[in-house]
A and B are shown apart, each in its own frame.
Chain A
């Protein structure tokens, strides 16, 4: 334990650990020292001088080393100069005056300096109402300025630093928080100061501008309205908006967010989602979110959302009532019984998936998980248990990341692992190609595509790396599906599980799946099984009930294998004679799959309803409704319960909380969990929100729950079927095409968010420059891959004769495949 130091701040005694800065010691006892440049997540710099306080220290007799006493108390000597509370660590016996006349005068003075040069356009400033400069001026400023100048220094007010962030140069107070966030936290040094003195300016030095996937966070910590997001600027005043707690649904990290909404004339008097803000959860996302989570929220309001049930009539989809749709669907399912298949994805909540599973079980049918990544039965058994927190990992912890490009797949984990490595954790990156996190790793293990599982099996015996794994006090293994499909990732998961098995149940140890969707882990916990051969499913089943998945959109080839439906799309000829299954699709949009459906049931978006997700770290977390539901749409779990009710199966269909109660009663890993427990919070450091937005930024305080990490399930018996075939290899004229995940893909959330879509570009593959040369291609030219025309992008980190094919970018790719590639 670190040494405790006792000091007095404004007459209050406080004991804090050695090395604590005065500003934080004061905060801990509720004394707010005004700050601008200081931010509790970053190194102090002492630049703005706002936090000056009077500091006295006990006088020590040089000869004896004893504290000099005066009237029975230690004699305190105050320095001639004020000291910055944000850079000065506490010391024993220190006396701090934060509100003495001298300190107050200087706090007033700095504010006065800042204000003499500030445009004071609060009435049109996005920050107005949640602005540290406004708030601190009210709290500490002088009523009138002694320096009234007509001449304000004017500067450009509309500078796009990049597509997403705008700078108002007049408002900037040069605190460097934005620069330091990019340097220290994001590790993407794309901002800098330019010029000096009064002309000091923020610039971006990347091409394209402000090239970072964490850029939105700078707008939260900018203490003025200098940085605004292109998505929200001039969108609403902070006090007009309501706040609803939510969980980001874009990736398995499960960042806690707050959705700000407003009823506005501009949107026809409807309540609409205006912006997504981070919500503090120090064990999950701290106070950050990535730009996808912040900006890819426009799917909720998209005009193409499904609003009513549809059923096929005379070959065409036509409006029907809910009663009719439910009746029709229930009838088909009841008839199909064991021939019914539920196909759902990790886009759905725990409650939705639980009800779907119950329904499938009730019918004697199957509940299948739509996924191209396996191993969930292992993360359920050997996952990280309660008490796990990346923030606590440092020296003594080894973190192995296999086949995952965390920067693209789970950006906040990328940040947190980077920080763990900076604290001294041993980071090992194993992949067939270089990924961004490697910069922070101690060891890099390079294998050939196809050798993933084998490489990991042999890892513990390798010199150095092996020791780092076996002798680590804590070991966390994250595996993903970079370059892998279902078979490969399942085999890899099994290999990874071997490394952590013996540590099962120990906090900060275990296996984490870097799933493609927010709640894949939840689906595994609830008993969904992956499916390797979808074609077979559609050929065999009588009824397929698809929720939150678009298999036909992802793989148009599937269509031609479904005879009856293929006939609906004339260009695909039918070859099979099997009868087609009845297809039920529960969706937000009229996806390619929905277009083939017999009945479409409109579902509510995550922003419109209650529910919970299980993150990759197996933390169940609640989200809450923020905006009214679109049209007649219903929550997935409600729809499922209503269908079940039609044929007499009783499922909870009114309250999400009760679904959780049922889950807690029947699913082992959810045992004992309730919505109330998920909503519990404890004090977190740093203190944010409340009156403290000058300190932590506009991130929201978490009052709605920190979530609960699930219990581990018993070890699975037997091994799931997995392909043990020979790894695919490229040869003379056969390329190896492998899937990779990009943060910004053409999935519906990005596609409906214009700003991000602009950053995404079109369908492409990535080749090593040498590979491209072999094909006689230059960057930007077109290739043909299995009949798809694609743009070529060059990337020297791709192995030769390998093509990286981004998922959800217009080319179907379920797993690695040998392909013919030629210039188009």
Chain B
């Protein structure tokens, strides 16, 4: 039985309170970290093998190493709590139930890279999350974990919360920085990367909060311990948000490398009503879906890649046989078309056209050419957009057609759905 690490406290009463956190060993890692040199800490994170949990899976220690050294420059840490990816609800659980764990990670990260200011960017709709962040930060100040001369170490760190206004793209790190600066949330041209020129043009370390939540544990229990969990290229614990047609949807913290089958059938209680599994989106709505036959794949960066998908945020959407895949592709593409920032041509126009093509097929107005057209559109958008959103938005449609083409054909030929046999559209 895997011992939860990141979620070990969340079921305790008042788990969000600083007193609870302190009573269970909280902030011990900060004390320990402040006795080490920044370089030692960066080295530890590198050795731990921790990779970003925000979706891209970039090695955290390497990113820390990219931050310019030296005290002369103002540097920032930006904490990504935007969590816009459909299917993902792990970050919300963390801020609502254990925000101090993240603050502790932020303090250590800031100390390691020499940042004196941290900004939390949080999705505007996380009303409780915002409250919890604000309260937690205030308490951390009161206990001397934030502010001037933290725990007598001479290290200063200020931290505050900024609410987003509701845009998926603002989760993309450079769009988030624009938004933090009070501007329209458009992605920026890279390079320069945030570590070179981020917030207000200054070096900025951007992390997802689950990534940051891992840091105190790495410091306390050592990088070797952390690296002992998981697979060759995917280390440590991961919170999997499981949703869809399962009996027990929710967040499950498990070591990376656990199979999809185990998560769905052992932890999430199997498929609702004992029905047959049809497909799984393994890493959030923007990752390619897998078929029922692929669920023995271990949930790790490298294995999912080999299976033609991505670990993404580790958000698992389970779809049983009652699901229309045409509708699924249509609905998800609609979301992405709506969330395209509009900055670049292929994403702005392509996503809309892709949605319209799927919509035509779904509503029985499509022609057989439309399927190839959708595939062509997806190919055309992928790889030439300004930011990674373009490559992401084509995944639902492309993978649905790849795995379930007959369903699309059925829609076109019979002008109704293979699954529900209905012409009516059930949802928007």
Question: A665 contacts the other chain (Cβ, under 8 Å)?
Answer: no
In the assembled complex, the Cα of A193 lies from the Cα of B183 at a distance in Å of 11
Residues of A contacting B383 in the complex (Cβ-Cβ under 8 angstroms): 80-82
B184 touches A174 (CB 8 A): no
With known contacts A147-B353, A149-B356, A196–B344 Cβ distance under 8 A:
no
Mask for B141-169, Cβ within 8 A of A = 1, else 0? 00000000000000000000000000101
B384 touches A106 (CB 8 A): yes
Residues of A contacting B340 in the complex (Cβ-Cβ under 8 angstroms): 196-198
A98 shortest CB reach to chain B, Å:
15
Question: B63 contacts the other chain (Cβ, under 8 Å)?
Answer: no
B341 touches A147 (CB 8 A): no
Question: A815 contacts the other chain (Cβ, under 8 Å)?
Answer: no
Stretch of A43-51, A370-378, A414-422 that contacts chain B: A43-51
A116 touches B349 (CB 8 A): yes
Question: B396 contacts the other chain (Cβ, under 8 Å)?
Answer: no
In the assembled complex, the Cα of A5 lies from the Cα of B4 at a distance in Å of 55
In the assembled complex, the Cα of A82 lies from the Cα of B382 at a distance in Å of 11
Among A154-213, those with CB < 8 Å from B are: 173-174, 192-193, 195-200
A196 touches B342 (CB 8 A): yes
B342 touches A174 (CB 8 A): yes
Looking across the interface, which residue of chain B has its beta carbon closest to that of A46? B189
With known contacts A47-B386, A82-B383, A113–B342 Cβ distance under 8 A:
no
Among A100-144, those with CB < 8 Å from B are: 106, 109-110, 113-114, 116-117
Mask for A38-57, Cβ within 8 A of B = 1, else 0? 00000011111110100000
A103 shortest CB reach to chain B, Å:
11
A49 touches B345 (CB 8 A): yes
Question: B338 contacts the other chain (Cβ, under 8 Å)?
Answer: yes
Question: B312 contacts the other chain (Cβ, under 8 Å)?
Answer: no
A193 touches B346 (CB 8 A): no
With known contacts A147-B373, A147-B377, A173–B384 Cβ distance under 8 A:
no
B345 shortest CB reach to chain A, Å:
5
B344 touches A48 (CB 8 A): yes
The majority secondary structure among interface residues of chain B is helix
B193 shortest CB reach to chain A, Å:
14
B342 touches A109 (CB 8 A): no
Question: A719 contacts the other chain (Cβ, under 8 Å)?
Answer: no
- Which of the residues B342, B346, B377, B384 comes within 8 Å of A197, measured between beta carbons? B342
The majority secondary structure among interface residues of chain A is loop
A197 touches B351 (CB 8 A): yes
Looking across the interface, which residue of chain B has its beta carbon closest to that of A175? B345
A137 shortest CB reach to chain B, Å:
14
In the assembled complex, the Cα of A720 lies from the Cα of B171 at a distance in Å of 69
B10 shortest CB reach to chain A, Å:
35
Question: B53 contacts the other chain (Cβ, under 8 Å)?
Answer: no
Residues of B contacting A153 in the complex (Cβ-Cβ under 8 angstroms): 352
B348 touches A200 (CB 8 A): yes
In the assembled complex, the Cα of A46 lies from the Cα of B342 at a distance in Å of 13
A207 shortest CB reach to chain B, Å:
20
Question: A146 contacts the other chain (Cβ, under 8 Å)?
Answer: yes
B353 touches A116 (CB 8 A): yes
Most B CB within 10 A of own CB, among A81, A153, A197: A197
B184 touches A192 (CB 8 A): yes
A80 shortest CB reach to chain B, Å:
8
Looking across the interface, which residue of chain B has its beta carbon closest to that of A52? B384
B350 shortest CB reach to chain A, Å:
6
B100 shortest CB reach to chain A, Å:
35
With known contacts A81-B384, A147-B377, A196-B167, A49–B339 Cβ distance under 8 A:
no
With known contacts A46-B386, A106-B384, A198–B348 Cβ distance under 8 A:
yes
B175 shortest CB reach to chain A, Å:
11
Residues of B contacting A106 in the complex (Cβ-Cβ under 8 angstroms): 384
In the assembled complex, the Cα of A116 lies from the Cα of B349 at a distance in Å of 8
B227 shortest CB reach to chain A, Å:
25
Mask for B338-379, Cβ within 8 A of A = 1, else 0? 111111111011111100110000000000000001001100
Mask for A50-78, Cβ within 8 A of B = 1, else 0? 10100000000000000000000000000
In the assembled complex, the Cα of A221 lies from the Cα of B350 at a distance in Å of 25
Chain B interface size, as a band, is 20 to 34
A254 shortest CB reach to chain B, Å:
37
B341 touches A196 (CB 8 A): yes
Residues of A contacting B59 in the complex (Cβ-Cβ under 8 angstroms): none
Question: A87 contacts the other chain (Cβ, under 8 Å)?
Answer: yes
Mask for A424-465, Cβ within 8 A of B = 1, else 0? 000000000000000000000000000000000000000000
Residues of A contacting B184 in the complex (Cβ-Cβ under 8 angstroms): 192-193
A82 touches B384 (CB 8 A): yes
A146 touches B346 (CB 8 A): no
B355 shortest CB reach to chain A, Å:
9
Residues of B contacting A193 in the complex (Cβ-Cβ under 8 angstroms): 184, 342
Residues of A contacting B231 in the complex (Cβ-Cβ under 8 angstroms): none
Question: A732 contacts the other chain (Cβ, under 8 Å)?
Answer: no
Please tell me the number of chain A residues within 8 Å of chain B, measured between CB atoms. Answer: 34
Most A CB within 10 A of own CB, among B169, B342, B349: B349
B189 touches A45 (CB 8 A): yes
Most A CB within 10 A of own CB, among B167, B341, B386: B386
B373 touches A197 (CB 8 A): no
Question: A151 contacts the other chain (Cβ, under 8 Å)?
Answer: yes
B384 touches A50 (CB 8 A): no
Residues of B contacting A45 in the complex (Cβ-Cβ under 8 angstroms): 189
Question: B205 contacts the other chain (Cβ, under 8 Å)?
Answer: no
B257 shortest CB reach to chain A, Å:
28
With known contacts A46-B189, A47-B386, A149-B356, A113–B350 Cβ distance under 8 A:
yes
Residues of A contacting B299 in the complex (Cβ-Cβ under 8 angstroms): none
A199 touches B342 (CB 8 A): yes
Looking across the interface, which residue of chain A has its beta carbon closest to that of B189? A46
B349 touches A117 (CB 8 A): yes
B377 touches A114 (CB 8 A): no
Residues of B contacting A52 in the complex (Cβ-Cβ under 8 angstroms): 384
Residues of B contacting A87 in the complex (Cβ-Cβ under 8 angstroms): 189
Residues of B contacting A149 in the complex (Cβ-Cβ under 8 angstroms): 353, 356
Question: B65 contacts the other chain (Cβ, under 8 Å)?
Answer: no
A39 shortest CB reach to chain B, Å:
15
Residues of B contacting A81 in the complex (Cβ-Cβ under 8 angstroms): 383-384
A146 touches B376 (CB 8 A): yes
A109 touches B349 (CB 8 A): no
B373 touches A146 (CB 8 A): yes
Residues of A contacting B350 in the complex (Cβ-Cβ under 8 angstroms): 113
Residues of B contacting A196 in the complex (Cβ-Cβ under 8 angstroms): 167, 169, 339-342
With known contacts A151-B356, A193-B184, A198–B384 Cβ distance under 8 A:
no
B337 touches A198 (CB 8 A): yes
In the assembled complex, the Cα of A149 lies from the Cα of B380 at a distance in Å of 17
With known contacts A81-B383, A147-B353, A200–B345 Cβ distance under 8 A:
no
In the assembled complex, the Cα of A814 lies from the Cα of B69 at a distance in Å of 63
Residues of A contacting B303 in the complex (Cβ-Cβ under 8 angstroms): none
Looking across the interface, which residue of chain B has its beta carbon closest to that of A105? B380
Residues of B contacting A198 in the complex (Cβ-Cβ under 8 angstroms): 337, 340, 342, 348-349, 351-352
Question: B323 contacts the other chain (Cβ, under 8 Å)?
Answer: no
Looking across the interface, which residue of chain B has its beta carbon closest to that of A193? B184
B345 touches A114 (CB 8 A): yes
A113 touches B337 (CB 8 A): no
Residues of A contacting B356 in the complex (Cβ-Cβ under 8 angstroms): 149, 151
In the assembled complex, the Cα of A110 lies from the Cα of B345 at a distance in Å of 7
Question: B385 contacts the other chain (Cβ, under 8 Å)?
Answer: yes
- Which of the residues A82, A147, A197 comes within 8 Å of B348, measured between beta carbons? A197
7 contacts between A and B (CB under 8 A): A48-B345, A49-B345, A50-B345, A146-B373, A174-B348, A196-B339, A198-B351
Known: A146-B376, A149-B356. 14 other contacts (CB 8 A): A48-B344, A50-B345, A82-B384, A113-B346, A113-B349, A113-B350, A174-B345, A195-B342, A196-B342, A197-B339, A197-B340, A198-B337, A198-B348, A199-B342
Binding site for A on B (CB under 8 A): 167, 169, 184, 189, 337-346, 348-353, 356-357, 373, 376-377, 380, 383-386
The 7 tightest CB contacts between A and B, nearest first, are A200-B342, A197-B340, A198-B352, A113-B349, A197-B342, A196-B342, A109-B380
